[in-house]
Copies of this chain bind each other. A is one copy, B any other.
Amino acid sequence: MKEKLKEHLNKKISLTDEEFSFVLSHFSFEKHKKNDFLIYQGENVSHCYYVVHGLLKLVYNDGNGKQHIVSFAMEDWWESDFSAYFMKNKAKMTLQCIEDTITFSISLKNYHKLSAELPKMQSFFLEKSNSGYIASQNRILSFLTSNATERYNQLLKQYPLLIQRVPKSLLASYLGVSRETLSRLSS
């Protein structure tokens, strides 16, 4: 499992074995069961999670009993309620396992410590954040320019593997349409 994190980091930066050991000492390793919660809406967010194996959903529960999927997180993704994590607020969202999931997690304290003591890690985090920002903007663009059918096709094209692991009701929630509408989409 350590190897997966190491390889992941080494795609962007190069770490010696000692450096990686140092990095690893800032993370904790966890196994979660399907339906387990990693973050509870309304509570503190202590960690940011790297998904080694499995699948998570980041969900906003509105006041009307509806769930809205802000994001999925599968292998090699980093996820948290970042607003709550960085600003030390209460979580606006829930992070929950769709499948049994293995993670490495890092506290905000260790995130800052690691960033300060190992500039390479800071530039890694910067790159991840930039990618997340860009991905979010693309999703916004998808809402601005495309209808439900088009958004679904874009999703199919972008994450063909994800689609097979997630019930369509959750995909509908991610796309911002009702499950009935998704079920009726032509192509």
User: In whole angstroms, how far apart are the Cα atoms of A101 and B79 in the complex?
Assistant: 36
CB of A13 within 8 Å of the partner chain? no
Which residues between 119 and 172 of chain A lie within 8 Å of chain B, taking CB atoms? 119, 122-123, 125-126, 129-130, 132-134, 136-141, 143-145
Decide: B133 and A70 in contact? CB cutoff 8 A. no
A65 to chain B, nearest CB (A): 12
Interface of A is mostly: helix
Q: Which of B70, B116, B125, B134 contacts A86 (CB 8 A)?
A: B134
1/0 per position for A62-96, CB-CB distance to B under 8 A? 10001011110000000000110010000000000
Chain A interfacial residues counted at CB < 8 A: 33
Q: Known interface pairs A145-B60, A145-B62. Does A136 touch B126 (Cβ–Cβ under 8 Å)? A: no
Q: Which of B69, B125, B144 contacts A68 (CB 8 A)?
A: B144
User: In whole angstroms, how far apart are the Cα atoms of A130 and B87 in the complex?
Assistant: 11
User: In whole angstroms, how far apart are the Cα atoms of A12 and B128 in the complex?
Assistant: 20
A63 to chain B, nearest CB (A): 10
Which partner residue on chain B sits nearest A131 by CB separation?
Answer: B86
A133 to chain B, nearest CB (A): 4
1/0 per position for A159-187, CB-CB distance to B under 8 A? 00000000000000100100000000000
User: In whole angstroms, how far apart are the Cα atoms of A136 and B70 in the complex?
Assistant: 11
Q: Known interface pairs A86-B134, A115-B123. Does A140 touch B141 (Cβ–Cβ under 8 Å)? A: no
Interface of A with B (CB < 8 Å)? Answer: 60, 62, 66, 68-71, 82-83, 86, 115-116, 119, 122-123, 125-126, 129-130, 132-134, 136-141, 143-145, 173, 176
Q: Can you give 21 contacting A-B residue pairs, CB < 8 Å?
A: A60-B141, A68-B144, A70-B137, A70-B140, A70-B141, A70-B144, A83-B134, A83-B138, A86-B134, A115-B123, A116-B119, A116-B123, A119-B119, A122-B122, A122-B123, A122-B126, A129-B130, A133-B136, A136-B136, A136-B139, A140-B143
